[in-house]
Amino acid sequence: MFKRSIIFLFLIFTQSVWAQEPLRKITNIELQSQDPLDEKLPDGWHPSLKIKANVSVGSSKSVVGQTDGDSNTMGGKLEAALIFKELQNEWRQSLNYSGATTKTASLPRYVKTSDELKYSTIFLRSLKSYPMIGPYARAEARTSVFKGEDVRSENKTYVIQDTSTNLGIHNTYRLTDPFIPLTTQGSVGFFAKILERKKTQLEVRFGLGAINVKTDKQLRLKDDSKTEDIIELSVMNDLSQVGFEYGVIFKGKWNEASEYSLTADFLTPMGTEIAVGKECYGCNNWGLTNIDFKVDLSTKVCEWMNITYEYKALRQPQVLDDFQIQHGFVLTFFYDIINNKGLDN
């Protein structure tokens, strides 16, 4: 199902870029024509800094299956980027933070629902004779800023499943510390800029990479739905792998107000053996592939507000043999502290 969703979304985005004339006939909306092929990001420094905030408020009363009361969600984002271009050299950096907290009628206190701090840097050197391709070096770090908790509306018995250790009866139990788990990655290889315009970019990479996840024996939920009064937890494992890295970036604008982006990064390890009883025991190298997939669709309502659909899927099989998925629509208020016009995509 997940692979089908990726293919479906990719086909939609490809159609929006390459088939604009048929879309004009169908929707009768005049879409912005693409920039000429030779209009690329100019040489020099291109900084950007944007802050975003979103708020959601709801209420229910006498609704079957729901607790009467109010629900509130508050979130914020910080998006900073810096690009330097000079002749065949390009250096990209980004620092992003995204966080949100929610209070519902059944849980009358604010609980963290998203929390991610991520720094990425990549250096690309285009070949003089073939500027569309060349070598790259890339590094990335990702973590959470605040502690992680499991919060319940009533007391439950918490147990570590692997050792059957009883942790006592609680309605709130701490799972992770701030800045843990910490994921770091690095890679070198070759890239190909299949499409490079100021408002549209399609780029692929292939190389050798390494990933390290430090969990410091933090806990995660592994609850069995059959045991209603018991919450099972599991100790997370550290991860250290070397393998083949491959990825794709596809982003741009299909009109003056609407943007899209798709990023997918994969790392397939080489010669990794999983001990008996550890996460993903029995998986082959393909089954141990780390996947980081993200889709963003955004359209402006006005100069300071937009509507965004965001889909994230993260899979690190040695840490958790399942996709960690977050997605949803959100109405966002934003302000450009630094808005470099040369970075308008």
Q: What are the tens digits of pLDDT across the range 194-215?
A: 988 878 899 999 999 999 999 9
pLDDT in tens, 143-161: 999 999 999 888 999 999 8
Percentage with pLDDT > 70 across the chain: 83
Q: Is the pLDDT of residue 345 over 60?
A: no
Question: What residues have CB less than 8 Å from 338, skipping those under 6 apart?
Answer: 47, 48, 49
Mean pLDDT of 9-25: 41
pLDDT of the residue at 71: 79
pLDDT in tens, 77-106: 999 999 999 999 999 999 999 999 998 878
Name the band, by pLDDT with cuts 50, 70 and 90, for residue 340. low
pLDDT of the residue at 276: 66
Per-residue H/E/C for 88-148: CEEEEEEEEEEEEEEECCCCCCCEEEEEEEEEEEEEEECCCCCCCEEEEEEEEEEECCCCE
Between 12 and 144, where is the model more confident? 144
- Average pLDDT across the chain, whole number: 83
pLDDT of the residue at 274: 76
| Domain positions in the chain | 2-343
